[in-house]
Chains A and B, each alone.
Chain A
């Protein structure tokens, strides 16, 4: 049975994109495609057909969440809505196509098509997306270059070259450390449903590609594994610390994506070095968990009309439903126990500790990542949802959007309660977490009842007996993160009336860009506008080519 039939519902969306019924058509077609992908992916994964089916499952789950959300969102943001309702189904189809194709020109076609559609979806936001869109496009070109090197060089060049190309090609898409800079620039500027797709689904294709490459191109040389472990962990720490200083809510979420992808890359690298099912469990479980909770958080961010953290605050009172769902997403993202990320990281610890040579040291880096992630999400939730409102940030919270977020949250809960559904086909046992969770629930309930019985006194917690707190007295986005920002040497915090964060790595990228444009200017001197010079160059080229024959 060909998996192509699952693409059929998307045709409905494409056909209806130009008609007045496009929103209903979009909902229906995304819902059907999501269901089909979840069913096919779940069946394929359970029967051991391989990693692409897990990806299909992940993509289907995200699509299911988008199905009610996207039309409700587009109804409120009507700019270019008809284009979005055409391009999003195409983008989904191209991603599913990439996952199901084996390497070759078909794969490259779908891969580049996916990159191009992604670029359109980012660039549709207009002038504000210019920088982000360019970063996305540049990263796609770099990724394409790596893949061409690997695909065309396979069989001619050595395994080292092929894997270097794969590392570049798939690594750029999966935000491997020195090439991660495009992601936090490009993902936040798109509209929230698109950000959710880019972060949740598209980046995973880089991981899937690297994983499948060991079957396509033979086992990787050991340096690939070490590079993935080291760069993945380095990228995770770097992205978390940089994200702590991020003012834009969606930008911070994008940095969190870089962190999660770094952990998955390091899990894959460790698996390449020592194939243990534990590491695979961490790799796949975190993929699905990240897609779900990041989709949940990005879609939740789409309900806010203000993205600057320093202008948010007190949203929990304003929209308790949104707050509760975001809290659940952030608890999962921070790697706290009921969430599936906790289980994934727990398996990753075990894998690292049993790893070869100096690998156990990586567990230390993982611990640092865990602590920083907690700090990161406490900051996000605390500043945006608790405290006093700092501005008049509006919340648009339509029923369709609630349904979409609720679906994703429910799927995340299902994954938290039954990770065995996912890990079973890998032959991994899990701890009996249903019992543990029940115990935890009973404990929390008892604690709550006990505390609720105590006599209560109402007062402003931190006003210390002086005048009541004003919103401006709350810590701002940079101030909350200051201790961590001072701790790490790769960022420079400039304090003063207008505190700001300097990033030396960004200056390195800017330097590379300037050097490139200087080189380009050298080439430009050839383009003098003189027809005769161009013709002369052609004549000289012809003469040189003929001269080569002479030799």
Chain B
């Protein structure tokens, strides 16, 4: 139990750090770490069931290694600065992240199902979702929106892991592949944006309006 608590808290900590760090490299590394921790949670919950282990391995391989590697390659090819440009200062981001996490912990209990194997994971999952959207809202580079979305997606995964005895194996594998496909497509789109506009700053793309 203590091990699971530690892992879940560590996941939350990576989420916090992803909101507060200013370097894209650091955020991608934190994302990889978060996925490794999630894979460990999956192993810890397995209790001898094979599909947990397979799902955890797939998570580790796809989201812990493949996606971070792809993202590093992407920002190198894009030739943009590795610095995060945002609307919020570090301290303000941390304050908002704290408030959202408090909200998640306050309402988290209401979402716990009676037979949830990991009740303490539910508020953390909610917090990850909220923090993911927060970093999407507050940052300007298109690639940070992708990272925010990935963090959100991890929150959804953790929620599924905590509430049920895991989804069927094929669904888990599908979700992992799905995330990779989404990131892959987003990468292609970002290349096109860079090619068309010469920058990847979403704050400057406002001509499609009602």
Contacts and interface: CB of A to CB of B under 8 A. Distances in A.
A527 B208 CA distance: 9
A47 interface: no
Contact of A529 (B106, B130, B134, B209): B209
Contacts of B202: 531-532
Contact of B210 (A527, A538, A550): A527
B186 interface: no
A527 B106 contact: no
Contacts of A535: 133, 136-137, 145
A538 B130 CA distance: 10
A373 B134 CA distance: 69
A542 interface: yes
Main SS at interface, chain A: helix
Interface of A: 523-524, 526-532, 535-536, 538-539, 542-543, 546-547, 549-550
Contacts of B107: 546-547, 549-550
Contact of A532 (B106, B137, B210): B137
Contacts of B106: 550
A528 B133 CA distance: 19
Contacts, number: 53
5 contacts: A529-B206, A535-B137, A543-B130, A547-B103, A549-B111
Nearest to B209: A529
Contacts of A532: 87, 137-138, 140, 202-203
A506 B130 CA distance: 51
B207 A539 contact: no
B126 interface: yes
B197 interface: no
B110 interface: yes
A528 B206 CA distance: 7
Contact of A528 (B111, B145, B209): B209
Given A531-B202, A532-B87, A550-B107, A539 B209 contact: no
Contacts of B137: 532, 535-536, 539
Interface in B124-179: 126, 129-130, 133-134, 136-138, 140, 145
A189 B103 CA distance: 59
B205 interface: yes
- A528, A539, A543 pick with most chain B CB within 10 angstroms: A539
Contacts of A546: 103-104, 107, 126
Interface string B187-210: 000000000000000110111111
Contacts of B129: 542
A539 B203 contact: no
Contacts of A547: 103, 107
Contacts of B145: 531, 535
B142 to A, nearest CB: 9
B143 to A, nearest CB: 13
A400 to B, nearest CB: 50
Given A528-B206, A535-B145, A549-B107, 10 more contacts: A528-B209, A529-B209, A530-B203, A530-B206, A531-B205, A532-B202, A547-B103, A549-B111, A550-B103, A550-B107
A5 B80 CA distance: 68
Nearest to B148: A535
A237 B20 CA distance: 73
A528 B100 CA distance: 26
Given A524-B210, A532-B87, A549 B110 contact: yes
A543 B203 contact: no
A153 to B, nearest CB: 31
A523 B65 CA distance: 44
Ranked nearest first, the 4 interchain pairs of A and B with the lowest CB-CB distance are A527-B210, A529-B209, A529-B206, A524-B210
B139 to A, nearest CB: 9
A538 B137 CA distance: 9
A536 to B, nearest CB: 5
Given A535-B137, A536-B137, A543 B103 contact: yes
Contacts of B205: 529, 531
A536 B137 CA distance: 6
Given A527-B209, A531-B205, A539 B103 contact: no
Nearest to B109: A549
Contacts of B130: 539, 542-543
Nearest to B132: A539
A528 B202 CA distance: 13
Contacts of A536: 137
Contacts of B210: 523-524, 526-528
A348 to B, nearest CB: 51
B133 A538 contact: yes
B74 to A, nearest CB: 19
B110 A539 contact: no
Nearest to A551: B107
Contacts of B111: 549
A167 B129 CA distance: 47
Nearest to B99: A543
A540 to B, nearest CB: 10
Interface string B33-77: 000000000000000000000000000000000000000000000
Given A531-B202, A532-B202, A549-B107, A542 B209 contact: no
B100 to A, nearest CB: 8
Interface string B65-103: 000000000000000000000010000000000001001
A529 B210 CA distance: 7
Contacts of B126: 546
Nearest to A536: B137
